[in-house]
């Protein structure tokens, strides 16, 4: 397994304090395993890596290869929330910001907002490209992706004809009900199933993420294998040996006892930008109920040190940091030494060091500044690399953690009733037929 190491030395907590919750965590875990907890009908994610059908993975890979062979340049992924963030997070995590030839197919994401400008620009962008569509929605009625799908489907049908368009439209949806399922069956679209017992923010290791990952050239079998090994490791009820559960207890203690209202997840890698966004949705939707929970925030260092660093260091003591660093970068490069008369930027003192080494030194310097001088608690998570296995492992780490964390707060981590209020108000104003 790609190891995930967690360190609480700068967190204001000690392991003894965390382990004092062993009995409580064991009780929650054991009830989850028996499906006796509130929201247990949405616990399908916890054993998902062990239950994924290899034939289904083969089917996704075969379709992706066919699209490559057919010369499809761009896959338009239509979805919002969990149908968007996890997909984008995984692609960027493994491939980085500018993957070049490593990426087998371009992906653009639409239906993730109601910005008319963004939508029109994306329509124009694919107008003269050979593109396919993967629309992701359990119901097919979520407004943002539904609007986008109507427009992109029409463009594709106008380009290649209605009969041919069905070969380039893929619906990831519910197995037995919903508007999108009905449409897919009527039109003959290839379908992928979102399991009934897996909520959107937990769905990245279902076809929601796996099919687009296969299209861009990620090794989805390695990703699932990494997730499976991690799930085996983090499904222990022994708090002393389960770092995912230790993290859950630590953040609970920093919130409930130390009274920090905000957790800032930090990474020193640009490729993690959308992983941070996925994490924010995972924890915000899972825990933000009944007037409870930490506010999940995020930052990319060292970039955001030049904008947020001052307030983190010396502002109101409202947050603690959980920092992710990478042991082995995807790529690294050394600082070259110039002749003395060419050393006009005065960087020769760095010659021979790699940029990743310097990034790590920046992390250590910031950790000292924030925790020792600024008195900001820090939890440090170190991951191995940028690989598919590591991504799968980290997904399971945080999914396991958020379940325990939610139950420690005595809320149901698997519903999101508050999200429905704005939708109801919006549809009422729009006079949506009932």
Residues forming the active site: 285, 306, 423
Residues 6+ away with beta carbon under 8 Å from 279? 265, 296, 298, 398
For residue 239, CA distances in Å to 14, 109, 383, 399, 426 come to 14, 39, 20, 16, 44
C-alpha to C-alpha distance for 159 and 153, rounded to whole angstroms: 10
Q: Give every CB contact of residue 106 below 8 A, 6+ residues apart in sequence.
A: 73, 74, 75
Determine the 3-state secondary structure of 326 from DSSP: strand
What is the separation, in whole angstroms, between the first and last Cα of the chain?
50
Contact, 78 vs 133, CB < 8 A? yes
Q: At what angle do helices 273-287 and 85-95 cross, to 10 degrees?
A: 150
Element spanning 76, H or E: strand 74-78
Quote the strand ranges of 95-144, DSSP E: 106-110, 131-136
Asked if residue 431 lies in contact with residue 303, where contact means CB atoms within 8 angstroms, the answer is no
Residues 6+ apart with CB under 8 A from 308: 299
Q: Is 216 in contact with 95 (CB distance < 8 Å)? A: yes
């Amino acid at each position: 397994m790609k190891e995930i190491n967690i360190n609480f030395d700068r967190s204001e907590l000690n392991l003894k304090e965390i382990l004092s919750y062993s009995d409580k965590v064991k009780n929650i875990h054991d009830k989850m395993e028996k499906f006796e907890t509130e929201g247990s009908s949405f616990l399908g994610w916890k054993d998902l890596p062990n239950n994924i059908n290899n034939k289904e993975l083969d089917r996704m890979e075969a379709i992706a290869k066919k699209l490559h062979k057919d010369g499809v340049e761009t896959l338009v992924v239509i979805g919002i929330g969990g149908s968007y963030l996890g997909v984008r997070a995984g692609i960027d995590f493994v491939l980085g910001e500018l993957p070049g030839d490593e990426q087998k197919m371009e992906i653009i994401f639409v239906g993730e907002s109601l910005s008319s400008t963004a939508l029109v620009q994306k329509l124009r962008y694919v107008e003269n490209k050979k593109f396919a569509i993967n629309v992701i929605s359990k119901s097919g009625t979520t407004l943002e992706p539904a609007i986008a799908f109507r427009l992109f489907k029409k463009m594709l049908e106008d380009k290649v004809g209605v009969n041919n368009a069905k070969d380039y439209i893929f619906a990831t949806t519910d197995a037995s009900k919903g508007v999108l399922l009905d449409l897919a069956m009527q039109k003959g679209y290839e379908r992928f199933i979102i399991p009934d017992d897996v909520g959107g923010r937990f769905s990245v290791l279902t076809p929601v993420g796996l099919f687009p990952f296969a299209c861009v050239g990620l090794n989805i079998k390695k990703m699932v294998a990494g997730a499976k090994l991690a799930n085996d490791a983090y499904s222990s009820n022994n708090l002393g040996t389960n770092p995912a559960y230790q993290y859950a207890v630590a953040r609970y203690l920093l919130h409930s006892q130390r009274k920090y209202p905000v957790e800032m997840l930090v990474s020193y890698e640009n490729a993690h930008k959308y992983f941070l966004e996925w994490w924010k949705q995972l924890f915000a939707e899972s825990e933000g109920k009944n007037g409870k929970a930490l506010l999940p925030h995020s930052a990319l260092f060292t970039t955001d040190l030049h904008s947020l660093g001052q307030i983190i260091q010396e502002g109101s003591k409202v947050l603690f940091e959980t920092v992710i660093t990478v042991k082995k970068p995807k790529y690294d490069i050394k600082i070259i030494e110039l002749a003395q008369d060419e050393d006009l930027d005065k960087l020769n003192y760095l010659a021979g060091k790699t940029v990743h080494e310097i990034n790590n030194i920046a992390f250590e310097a910031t950790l000292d500044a924030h925790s020792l001088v600024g008195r900001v608690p820090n939890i440090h998570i170190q991951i191995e690399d940028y690989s598919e296995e590591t991504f799968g492992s980290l997904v399971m780490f945080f999914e396991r953690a958020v379940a325990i964390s939610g139950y420690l707060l005595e809320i149901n981590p698997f519903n999101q009733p508050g999200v429905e209020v704005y939708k109801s108000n919006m549809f009422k104003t729009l006079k949506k037929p009932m």
